[in-house]
Amino acid sequence: MTRQARPAAAPTPESSGRRISPGVVILAIALIGSMAYVLYAITVRDPSQIPLLASGAVVLGLVFAALAAYCLRATWRAGVAERSGRAVVLGLLGGFAAIVAFGCFALAVIGFMLRQPPA
């Protein structure tokens, strides 16, 4: 028995483009949701505003930390695939995301300290 070679299927417009990974979609939804929550917390005008802002900063920091970790993995994969330009851009994006994440965590700590009454 011999195997017959099948002709290669012509690429369709849907399959020839770049695919968006599920991780990017999840991170985009989380980023939009956490930004919306922080914007809501800014508009609240009552005593619970500071705790809302602090918790929003924590969530935003977690999202940016996840984005930095995702960029770290993507940078590693681009470097292994010898795509140096992509690796540099992803490294810069991941570094920026890490800086923003630590800034959000610092803002959250300050917010939680402001929430406590003076002793």
Dump pLDDT digits (tens) for 10-25. Answer: 555 555 567 888 888 9
Residues 86-106: tens digit of each pLDDT: 999 999 999 999 999 999 999
CA nearest 94: which of 117, 68, 70? 68
Residue 117 has a pLDDT of: 72
Q: Helix/strand/coil (H, E, C) string of 33-86?
A: HHHHHHHHHHHCCCCCHHHHHHHHHHHHHHHHHHHHHHHHHHHHHHHHCCCHHH
Residues 49-79: tens digit of each pLDDT: 888 899 999 999 999 999 999 999 999 999 9
Domain ranges for the chain: 23-39+47-115
Q: What are phi and psi of 4, to 5 degrees?
A: -90, 135
Residue 68 has a pLDDT of: 95
Q: Which comes out higher in pLDDT, residue 14 or 107?
A: 107
Residue 48 has a pLDDT of: 79
